[in-house]
Chains A and B, each alone.
Chain A
């Protein structure tokens, strides 16, 4: 039985300032600078991974929260699928 509950948005709030891995249609790995109530996010130093297309670097972007499936703190997304 858990003694301490961490709400989903609290978890994301703890990630502000550190790397995060975002899964949607494609994937994004970058430093989370901020987010709003819709979980639209500002990411910095981003790698966009498009399935079947490849990777590209983007310096800073605003990501629409509407299509986000999953967010993983740590941002090791570039390494997990390698091999």
Chain B
């Protein structure tokens, strides 16, 4: 099953709105783009942002893992549980090597 065909009845957290430059509007703005996700542990992931919900749960396509800024491996399609996320940044971070 492709990541696009999600069950609409799944619980998706607070409903995203797009009225201003608030967090949920930003999430809508960056879906489909390349993003950098940093976890509270300091591990960084980059990839194509497939979807985000109100809990900051994240689905990344073509995910690459970086530890201390160094490339550690390619993970393909990944799900990141939102409670571990420190930030979601647009584009690929300049400090990542490899």
A interface with B by C-beta (< 8 Å): 24-25, 33-36, 40-42, 46, 53-54, 56-64, 66-67
Contacts and interface: CB of A to CB of B under 8 A. Distances in A.
B55 to A, nearest CB: 10
Given A57-B94, A66-B83, A36 B89 contact: no
Most interface-central of A56, A58, A62, A67 (chain B CB within 10 A):
A62
A35 B22 CA distance: 5
A59 B40 CA distance: 20
Contacts of A25: 40, 86
Nearest to B20: A34
B88 interface: yes
A13 B86 CA distance: 21
A24 B82 CA distance: 17
A64 B41 CA distance: 13
B85 interface: yes
B80 to A, nearest CB: 12
Contacts of B40: 25, 67
Interface class of chain B by DSSP: mixed
The 8 A-B pairs of least Cβ separation, nearest first, read A61-B89, A34-B22, A33-B21, A34-B21, A40-B23, A42-B26, A58-B89, A62-B88
Interface of B: 20-27, 36, 40, 56, 69, 82-83, 85-91, 93-95
Contacts of B82: 64
Most interface-central of B56, B82, B94 (chain A CB within 10 A):
B56
B89 A34 contact: no
A59 B91 contact: yes
A33 B21 CA distance: 6
Nearest to B84: A64
